[in-house]
A and B are shown apart, each in its own frame.
Chain A
Amino acid sequence: MTHTHPTLTRWRGPITFITLLAAALLLLPLLLEPFRLNLLAQYLCYSIVALGIALAWGRGGMLTLGHGVYFGLGAYAMAMHLTLERAAHDPLNTTGLPQFMQVTGATELPLLWQPFTSATFAITTAVLAPAALATLLGWSVFRQRVKGAYFAILNQALAAAFVLLLIGQQHLTGGTNGLTDFPTFAGHDLYTPTAQTTLYTLTVLTLATLYLAFRHLTRSRYGKLLTAIRDAEDRVRYLGHDPTWPKTLAYALSATAAGIAGALFVPIMGIISPTLIGVIPSIMMVLAVAIGGRYSLAGAATGALLINAAQTTFAETFSGTWTYLQGALFVIVIALAPQGLAGLTTTLKNHLTPTPPETTTHPQPHKAHT
């Protein structure tokens, strides 16, 4: 593309990006009623997760069927803080303990919960806990060259185990009920239109920042190395690179994005519970990325937005049909459009404006990673 209109091409991306960002920040809050804006903010949280999955899966070839876990870690960290804040400010609550703990007969705040009275600690944990768990799991399995389908299955098992843990440790986590009802954050009512707009704005800005950061990463030498590892991990070793750390890093970053998304999701949605982060929700996160386009960060984010919006729109009217449609989407997108929407739009554009072949080579359905 640099051959034809260098200036135009150079700036088209940034201009589109800034236009979209400005529209999202300035226009939409005016156009949408608070309920809809809140929905949009929820979907954008899933877009943030999608960015991470696109990095790990699209770029790094690591199919993560357990991202709900990282989303959940971020979400629970935030929810624990909000729960404590509510308990502290509830005039009827004499013990200062979260309501669900009173049910299970606790008399004092468990050790695990104590530091979460600090918002800073909660937010830091929301970011670092997913990163730490992913680093630990990633490092230990990548080092042993566990990859491909094995890695995917382990992730899935992790999601299953994590949900069991949350449900089993009811006195600490609220069990199946999860944590819910967060009226305030730092003393501010979370349900005023202003608060809703602020949360929405924060989500948009986080999404934009992570998009730019990940985009930079994919274009750096590290990004090239990651792609190389995806396509031929063994070959990379004979060039003197150890694939363990680049993979672990991508996986950990991807988990961090999910954790941040979870932390944002909680005040927006007002609830987190095990059903939102188990095996099936985790796979749905991957489906969204497959549909949007795993090789494209922007595509993946858009895919998550679309799939969640579609879920709301269609699921209520034709719930059975919606399940068929989701299943069919999986099959159709993977079989016919492995590059997803982003791939389709590129193809469409190439049909309209022929460009030299070498600049249009998108990743082909790539070879085995195992």
Chain B
Amino acid sequence: MRTRPTHTALATALALTIAATGCTTPGPAGVDDDTVTVGMLHSLSGTMAISEVTVRDAVQLAIDEINADGGVLGRQIEPVIEDGASDEATFAERAQKLLTSDNAATVFGTWTSASRKAVLPVFERNNGLLWYPVQYEGLEASDNIVYTGATTNQQIIPALDHLREQGHTSLYLVGSDYVFPRTANQIITAYAQAHDMDIVAEEYTPMGHTEYSTITNDIARHEPDAVFNTLNGDSNVSFFQQLRSAGVQADHTPVLSVSVAEEEIDGIGADNITGHLTAWNYYQSTETEPNSRFVQAFTDTYGPDRVTSDPMQSAYNSVHLWKAAVEEADSFDVDDVRAALDGITIDAPEGTISIDGPTQHLVKTSRVGQVNDDGLIDQIWSSPEPITPDPYLESYDWATDLHS
């Protein structure tokens, strides 16, 4: 006969768990006379930690600056840092905690579309306010999110305009197999049809894929005018290394990437990507006075080896935009802050940006850059003026099929 598992001992373990789960009492009120609690929700562990930790650093820098400057409405910002652990369920769970247990006045964070989609219902249900710092696939406008990165008409479409101006009429599309590249390529295809451009091929690879011989050989064979690259993360390293081995030269067939920023270049190897293009709204080399201060402050705080990138800068702006909106509303209440969002304008590292109230996206300038030998990106083109966000591409005739 088997010994009965000792239920009593297991029950003790169970009780301990429950104690651990339940020990937290309802959190402190989010705002008191001296402090205001905000949430920081990034992946500090797991696969996305690489990217998201840099964004957290930027948010922290902005908070420190504001606190040193007297805080917001006379209150010091007290961040509660949570780890989304590169896992959507954890993101949702942590968001719930920030909003209900910590009563965070606002939350800065998330990176992937998946994590944003995961926390979105939590923010809508609890009427929270999330500041999302990354360029994304558009087709979204929640009252509970402020999108401080670019939407498609501020990154992809200007990049296509630029390629067209340069006389590139045949494009090869390569992307990781997930929402952003698929949506981006739908837009690119529609754009190409409307502008007499030729899509040579549209290839997708699984996330984290490292085997690009087939695709790079295919590119070498087809010799398109340009490659539009929406690959994500590690895959870029393999892609650019193998592209170089396939003999594809940047001056002959430039690759325009929308997910490669200063942070990633070191891992790819500057000599593998030199001369290729990127599309963002900000580069470390962007020449504005606020940017010199930002880069200076960032390297002073985190070390001279660190670089700044578009998502970091957007996250940094988020905190300053929130402060401006709170001061405009003279309240920390989410509804009051939301009402004050429209037209909030600051001088950011990327230039002057302002919030477009109806979409809660930013009006911002689009820039195409070229990777240089030092692993930084030089701006080679920028949109003549800041572009009004249009997440559903309603102002583009050729895009009518994309939004139903």
A and B: bona fide binding partners:
yes
Task: Evaluate contact between A293 and B5: CB separation under 8 angstroms.
Answer: yes
Report the separation of the CA atoms of residues A360 and B4 in the bound assembly, to the nearest whole angstrom: 9
If A1-B3, A107-B404 touch, whether A319 touches B177 (CB-CB below 8 Å) is no
Report the separation of the CA atoms of residues A321 and B236 in the bound assembly, to the nearest whole angstrom: 29
Task: Evaluate contact between B4 and A13: CB separation under 8 angstroms.
Answer: yes
Which residues of the other chain, A, contact B87 by a CB distance below 8 angstroms? 275-276
If A33-B26, A105-B186 touch, whether A306 touches B85 (CB-CB below 8 Å) is no
Report the separation of the CA atoms of residues A319 and B85 in the bound assembly, to the nearest whole angstrom: 8
Asked whether A136 is an interface residue with its Cβ less than 8 Å from the other chain, the reply is no
Report the separation of the CA atoms of residues A2 and B204 in the bound assembly, to the nearest whole angstrom: 64
A172-206 CB contacts (< 8 Å) to partner B: 174-178, 180-183, 191
If A40-B18, A309-B21 touch, whether A345 touches B6 (CB-CB below 8 Å) is yes
Report the separation of the CA atoms of residues A349 and B14 in the bound assembly, to the nearest whole angstrom: 17
Task: Evaluate contact between A176 and B178: CB separation under 8 angstroms.
Answer: yes
Give the bracket for the number of chain A residues in contact with chain B: 35 or more
Interface 1/0s, chain A 103-115, versus B by CB < 8 A? Answer: 1110100000000
A141-195 CB contacts (< 8 Å) to partner B: 164, 167-168, 170, 174-178, 180-183, 191
> Quick one: closest B residue to A308, CB to CB?
B17
Which residues of the other chain, B, contact A276 by a CB distance below 8 angstroms? 87-89
If A28-B18, A273-B88, A359-B3 touch, whether A316 touches B83 (CB-CB below 8 Å) is yes
Q: When A and B form their complex, what is the total count of cross-chain residue pairs whose Cβ atoms lie within 8 Å?
A: 191
- On chain B, the number of residues with a Cβ less than 8 Å from chain A's Cβ atoms is 65
Which residues of the other chain, B, contact A19 by a CB distance below 8 angstroms? 11
> Quick one: closest A residue to B85, CB to CB?
A315
Report the separation of the CA atoms of residues A299 and B48 in the bound assembly, to the nearest whole angstrom: 33
Task: Evaluate contact between A349 and B6: CB separation under 8 angstroms.
Answer: yes
Report the separation of the CA atoms of residues A225 and B4 in the bound assembly, to the nearest whole angstrom: 19
If A104-B182, A170-B182, A342-B5 touch, whether A273 touches B18 (CB-CB below 8 Å) is no
Task: Evaluate contact between B404 and A36: CB separation under 8 angstroms.
Answer: no
If A40-B18, A42-B93, A175-B178 touch, whether A275 touches B7 (CB-CB below 8 Å) is no
Asked whether B169 is an interface residue with its Cβ less than 8 Å from the other chain, the reply is no
Asked whether B10 is an interface residue with its Cβ less than 8 Å from the other chain, the reply is yes
Which residues of the other chain, B, contact A310 by a CB distance below 8 angstroms? 20
Task: Evaluate contact between B92 and A271: CB separation under 8 angstroms.
Answer: yes
Report the separation of the CA atoms of residues A129 and B293 in the bound assembly, to the nearest whole angstrom: 58
Q: Which of A16, A103, A309 contacts B7 (CB 8 A)?
A: A16
Task: Evaluate contact between A12 and B4: CB separation under 8 angstroms.
Answer: yes
Asked whether B382 is an interface residue with its Cβ less than 8 Å from the other chain, the reply is no
B65-90 CB contacts (< 8 Å) to partner A: 81-83, 85-90
> Quick one: closest A residue to B19, CB to CB?
A309
B188-210 CB contacts (< 8 Å) to partner A: 204, 206-207
Closest Cβ–Cβ distance, residue B389 to chain A (whole Å): 17
Task: Evaluate contact between A168 and B92: CB separation under 8 angstroms.
Answer: no
Report the separation of the CA atoms of residues A42 and B182 in the bound assembly, to the nearest whole angstrom: 32
Q: Which of B1, B44, B97, B183 contacts A2 (CB 8 A)?
A: B1
If A180-B121, A181-B120, A319-B45 touch, whether A269 touches B89 (CB-CB below 8 Å) is yes
Closest Cβ–Cβ distance, residue B188 to chain A (whole Å): 14
Closest Cβ–Cβ distance, residue B229 to chain A (whole Å): 18
Task: Evaluate contact between A20 and B11: CB separation under 8 angstroms.
Answer: yes
Asked whether A217 is an interface residue with its Cβ less than 8 Å from the other chain, the reply is no
Asked whether A140 is an interface residue with its Cβ less than 8 Å from the other chain, the reply is no
Report the separation of the CA atoms of residues A91 and B31 in the bound assembly, to the nearest whole angstrom: 35
Report the separation of the CA atoms of residues A38 and B89 in the bound assembly, to the nearest whole angstrom: 12
Report the separation of the CA atoms of residues A28 and B17 in the bound assembly, to the nearest whole angstrom: 12
Asked whether A222 is an interface residue with its Cβ less than 8 Å from the other chain, the reply is no
> Quick one: closest A residue to B81, CB to CB?
A316
If A16-B7, A17-B7, A177-B114 touch, whether A271 touches B89 (CB-CB below 8 Å) is yes
Task: Evaluate contact between A305 and B14: CB separation under 8 angstroms.
Answer: yes
Report the separation of the CA atoms of residues A191 and B124 in the bound assembly, to the nearest whole angstrom: 12
> Quick one: closest A residue to B138, CB to CB?
A103
Asked whether A313 is an interface residue with its Cβ less than 8 Å from the other chain, the reply is yes
Asked whether A120 is an interface residue with its Cβ less than 8 Å from the other chain, the reply is no
Task: Evaluate contact between A105 and B1: CB separation under 8 angstroms.
Answer: no
Which residues of the other chain, B, contact A320 by a CB distance below 8 angstroms? 45
If A175-B179, A312-B93 touch, whether A1 touches B4 (CB-CB below 8 Å) is yes
Task: Evaluate contact between A319 and B5: CB separation under 8 angstroms.
Answer: no
Task: Evaluate contact between A39 and B21: CB separation under 8 angstroms.
Answer: yes
Q: Which of A12, A293, A306 contacts B17 (CB 8 A)?
A: A306
Report the separation of the CA atoms of residues A260 and B158 in the bound assembly, to the nearest whole angstrom: 48
Q: Which 3 A-B pairs have the closest CB atoms?
A: A345-B9, A16-B7, A181-B121
Extra contacts besides A178-B114, A271-B117, A299-B5 (13): CB < 8 Å: A13-B4, A42-B89, A177-B114, A177-B118, A180-B118, A180-B120, A181-B117, A181-B120, A309-B20, A312-B93, A315-B90, A346-B3, A349-B6
Chain B residues close to A by CB (< 8 Å): 1-11, 13-14, 16-18, 20-22, 24, 26, 44-45, 49, 81-83, 85-90, 92-94, 96-97, 100-101, 112-114, 117-118, 120-122, 124-125, 137, 139, 177-179, 182-183, 186, 204, 206-207, 401-404
Chain A residues close to B by CB (< 8 Å): 1-2, 9, 12-13, 16-17, 19-20, 28, 31-33, 35-36, 38-40, 42-43, 95, 100, 102-105, 107, 164, 167-168, 170, 174-178, 180-183, 191, 269-271, 273, 275-276, 293, 296-299, 302, 305-306, 309-310, 312-313, 315-316, 319-320, 322-323, 341-342, 345-346, 348-349, 355, 359-360, 362
28 sampled A-B residue pairs with Cβ under 8 A? A12-B4, A16-B7, A16-B8, A36-B24, A42-B89, A43-B17, A100-B179, A102-B404, A103-B137, A105-B401, A164-B206, A167-B206, A168-B204, A170-B178, A175-B178, A176-B114, A177-B118, A180-B117, A181-B117, A269-B93, A271-B88, A271-B89, A276-B88, A293-B5, A297-B5, A299-B5, A306-B16, A346-B5
